[in-house]
Structure 1
Amino acid sequence: MSICPVCNQLSAAQYRCPSCLGNMKDSGRVMDYYDDYSPYFDIDSLKMEDGYPDDEKEKQCPHVFYCVHCASENVLLIHEWRSECN
């Protein structure tokens, strides 16, 4: 089992905007934007249909990052950590 360090607040993600080099803000998982109930569905099941074909296999969590300076959005794949708890 893998866990996203950003989703679980174990690590802060800090990225610079490729357009203006300003700091980008994490706006959450891509899957949370699908509909009102998607944050409550199983993450691994949603990864099968999220448009990122290798994120489940590569243990990555797609997050939306927003630049407060130039209003651009980017999806970045956060590498998940392997959990010892099963």
Structure 2
Amino acid sequence: MFICPLCNGFDTKNVTCPTCHHTLHDSGKVSDYFDDYSAYMDIDGLKMENGIPDDLKHHICLHLFSCTSCGYDQIVQVDEQT
């Protein structure tokens, strides 16, 4: 089974804001923002319906990183691990 190291707290990722150079905050999986109930749905099921090709096949978890200083948002690909 593949799991996301960020979702499960095994690792962190440092991403710098290209606009103001502050550190971006990991705001969680992009799929958690699809609708009110998506955070409670099966992760692999959401990957089949999210419109992002091959994220399930290549074991990628997409995270939203946000800048609390200027409001910049960036989606970052995180490789899931076994």
Judge same fold: TM > 0.5, yes or no: yes
| Aligned sequence identity (%) | 46
Structure having the higher strand fraction is: 1
Q: Secondary structure at the match of 2:39?
A: helix
Gaps spanning 5+ residues in structure 1: where? Answer: none
Name the CA distance, whole Å, in 2 between partners of 1:37 and 1:49: 14
TM-score w.r.t. the length of structure 1 is 0.87
| Residue correspondences, number | 82
> Following TM superposition, by how much is the alpha carbon of 1:18 offset from its aligned partner in structure 2, in angstroms?
2.3
Provide the alpha-carbon RMSD of the alignment: 1.1
Matched, 1:25 2:9: no
Could you list the per-position Cα deviations for residues 13-68 of structure 1 after superposition, in whole angstroms to 9, with x for gaps in the alignment? 21111222220000010111111211111100101122321211111100100012
Runs of 4+ in 1 over 3 A off after TM superposition: none
The runs of 5 or more residues in structure 2 that have no matched partner are none
Structure 2 matches for 1:7-18, cutoff 5 A?
A: 7-18=7-18
Residue type of the alignment partner of 1:52: I
What SS class does the counterpart of residue 46 from structure 1 fall into? Answer: helix
